[in-house]
Structure 1
């Protein structure tokens, strides 16, 4: 991911060349999208090794399915969706089923405010989000970062809409506590 991308090559030429098996075009496609897609993978992965695995698996799927891109939306958006779906598939394989929550339980879960995240660097936020359990992390990313509705998340993960809502609320609550602790620890280290 270190090498610079050659943005003089058009996206259309990049796609056509990659479909045709041109290694230079495939490498360019990787260079152009790997940094952003690695960031997507990091949000869903337990650690950097898992993120690297997701990155590799995602690019394999991109290359295999390039012929399916219909140019009806942005190419980057299409690539991103491949990576999000790859991450979801990884989650499904690795995780136990999310616990189901009754409507009564759902209504008792507080929706914690995570405004403290504003004062953290992106790297710190990613590290804190990675500490969440896979279920909480996946629902949090799909809802907060990717913009899926709870209904869509439920369909993607095979859980109820209520379970998605409760997983998000719990994730936010845990994140609030972790962020507060992180900021407290950071403040203490600066005052010493």
Structure 2
């Protein structure tokens, strides 16, 4: 969608036009759903996160300044809304351990299809999965992750290392179950 079309759509949404709001949701919902799917195992929970996030988007839509992409802004709002929803629902225990950010050697992952790897990542503990996605997939630094999730950089490094360790163990134990070419 071109910026002129986006501006008209946003203007109509802000004016309370229900059809425009539906078009907005259908246009940007799929990209926002991808953000939500990264943080939950179930489609139902992802849809709940998406709906809560899109409500926040509609609440804050008048604050969008057109300085970057509308879709990127929507994804950020949905991400922060998802984090807020997780905080309200669950108290995550965190553990502070420094010096655990050793590199993990790449093994066997090149033999997996993307959906197999995503399923394995979905099985990680919630906070470790969150940190892994932010670091490995979305490219955030430990400082940015720590700021977003409200804990220290050392905690972020620990969760990343824990996620890598669990994935490595699962790959070493069960490579044949995920590799479609294994005999």
1:177 to 159, 169, 173: 169
Per-residue deviation, 1:181? 4.4
In structure 2, what is the equivalent of residue 3 of structure 1?
none
Q: Which one of the candidate residues 116, 130, 133 is aligned to 2:122?
A: 130
TM-score, length basis structure 1: 0.83
1:93-135 per-position Cα deviation (integer Å, ceiling 9, x unaligned): 324231111x3xx24x543235644443333232221111111
Deviations 1:41-92 (A, max 9, x none): 0101132221111011011011111000000111011001011112221332
The counterpart of 2:140, out of the listed 119, 144, 148, is 148
Matches within 5 A, 1:67-106: 67-93=62-88, 94-101=90-97, 103=98, 106=99
Aligned-pair Cα RMSD in Å: 2.3
Greater shift in the superposed pair: 83-92 or 57-66: 83-92
Task: Give 3-state SS (helix, strand or coil) of 2:77's partner.
Answer: helix
- Paired residues for 1:8-157 under 5 Å: 10-93=5-88, 94-101=90-97, 103=98, 106-107=99-100, 110-114=102-106, 116-157=108-149
**Deviation at residue 152 of structure 1 after TM alignment:** 1.9
CA contact (8 A) 2:116 2:178 kept: no
Give the conservation status (yes or no) of the 8 Å contact 1:88–1:138: no
Of 161-170 and 112-121, deviating more is: 112-121
Distance 1:120 1:37 in 2: 25
Whether the aligned pair in 1 keeps the contact of 2:96 and 2:158 (CA below 8 Å) is no
How many residues align structurally? Answer: 181
Q: Which position in structure 2 is the counterpart of 1:161?
A: 153
TM-score (norm: length of structure 2): 0.86
The residue aligned with 1:4 is none
